[in-house]
Amino acid sequence: MDAGSPATSVQPGAAQAANIPHRWRNLAVLSGVSVVDNTEAGLINTVFPTLAAALRLNSGHLGLIAALGKIASVPAGPFWVWLAGRIGRRATLTATTVTGGLFGIAAGFSQNFVQLLICCTLMSAAVIGSSPITMAVIADSFPDEQRARANGIFFGTLQVAGLVLGPVMAAFVGLEDGWRWALWTLGGVCIAAGLLVVALYKDPDIGAAEEQLADLAAEERPKARVTVASVIGLFRIPTYTVMMLSRLLSGHLLIIIFGVQFLVTERGISNSTAILVALPFGIGYSVATLGAGFLLPRIDRLMPSRGRVLVLQLAQILFAVIAFFGTQFRYESIGVYAVFWALLGACQGLNPPVNRPIVAAVVLPELRGQAYAIWLTVFETIAWALFALLAGSFAATIGIQGVFLWVLVILMIVNGLLLSILYVTYPRDTGRVGETLDLRRQQALSN
């Protein structure tokens, strides 16, 4: 059976897979934890102006904090997933959030840059752990046809919360030692969120949402042991490899880094006015993410196995087209740019409800945590670093507009064309996963 399309016959465990106990409560808890973790991870950027004045720092120090945080996330992501396999996902989710909160509080006591750098780096390494684990839990809580909606709600919640909490955190900068109080406050909230996981989160168990296994008791569900060889073997899955390459070509990450700088330096818009485009970008992202989550199941029924590939491909191509008209021509009104930024946010928001379920559908349940860790903490970090460094270098010679032409337009078109390979590989890879799960069911029933 093709795991990426609607089943041609009803599996015995279909009803159980569609009604995993506590799944919506778990999603709410994980969304809250992720909101807190993401807010804490980005807090330094928000309060840095007042922090810099207090500790006599400059933009170079902020860049170093951001760079080391990303570097620390590369080994930390797979480590937390490995730990989850040893002590359980609930305990690990609690540990990542509480540890991140403690390092955030410690950062608030920093008296110099070295102390701040160490605490912020360790904080980044801690809070990154919830991301791949959360993605794996969502895949184990919702069957394939419902994962787009679950991911859409999850990422839509994160984006809306970010729009609300950003100004709230910024309000701390008006206080004396406000940056310290911001770190202390959010660190305390992180610890409270970790305790919330202990109280409310109920792990669905690996493979619980697979129709072939859902009606089996947790201890009866056969699963392969996760080894270094099996993790490396992920790159022998053609679809997964294409998704990794696509992540490296995801030039749309650059709009977040240099979008405001482009409007200020290339279009002469004031910094305070240019920042306003973040709101329509976030709104566009949220609407598209939530909308795609509810629309994709219908597209899957119309185009089994290939509908979500088409949506993912169109998201890259449309982003390139909108970026061309939005960044390669000069407009006098910030309102025009706000419309383009909203559309760019919408195209970017189409990705999470599609790409996460694609990865989940081609990877066996026990390997999904590591698959997401490699994808989100290794390849995405490499992509962020490459785009930030190369764009910064080339912007000095060809300008940010020229960089945007090559990265946001041309590279994104290349990315969209690369995804054409999935029309062939995705049905095959989902079919292999379905066959393996069918075999596991037969083995479990024969024992």
Region label for 50, one of left (φ > 0), alpha (ψ between -120 and 50) or beta (otherwise): alpha
Confidence at residue 270, expressed as pLDDT on a 0 to 100 scale = 83
Confidence at residue 1, expressed as pLDDT on a 0 to 100 scale = 40
Q: How far is CA 262 from CA 132, 270, 278, 401, 404, in A?
A: 32, 11, 13, 7, 9
Confidence at residue 443, expressed as pLDDT on a 0 to 100 scale = 85
Q: How far, in Å, CA of 3 to CA of 209, rounded?
A: 12
Q: How far, in Å, CA of 416 to CA of 358, rounded?
A: 15
Percentages helix, strand, coil for the chain, rounded to the nearest 5?
A: 80, 0, 20
Confidence at residue 10, expressed as pLDDT on a 0 to 100 scale = 54
Q: How far, in Å, CA of 121 to CA of 127, rounded?
A: 10
Residue ranges of the chain with pLDDT lower than 50? 1-8
Question: Are 162 and 35 a contacting pair, CB within 8 Å?
Answer: yes
Sign of the alpha-carbon torsion through 52, 53, 55, 60: positive
Q: How far, in Å, CA of 76 to CA of 52, rounded?
A: 27
Q: How far is CA 84 from CA 59, 87, 93, 203, in A?
A: 37, 5, 8, 11
Which residues, other chains included, contact 406 with Cβ-Cβ below 8 Å and sequence gap of 6+? 394
Which residues, other chains included, contact 214 with Cβ-Cβ below 8 Å and sequence gap of 6+? 13, 14, 16, 17, 20, 143, 208
Q: How far, in Å, CA of 28 to CA of 50, rounded?
A: 34
Q: How far, in Å, CA of 31 to CA of 97, rounded?
A: 13
Q: Where does residue 375 rank: exposed (0-12), middle (13-18), buried (19+ CB within 10 A)?
A: buried
Please give the structure tokens belonging to residue 23. Answer: 């799944």
pTM of the model: 0.88
Please give the structure tokens belonging to residue 255. Answer: 């709009």
Confidence at residue 4, expressed as pLDDT on a 0 to 100 scale = 45
Chain-centre distance for alpha carbon 308: 18
Of 52, 50, 53, residue with least CA distance to 64: 52
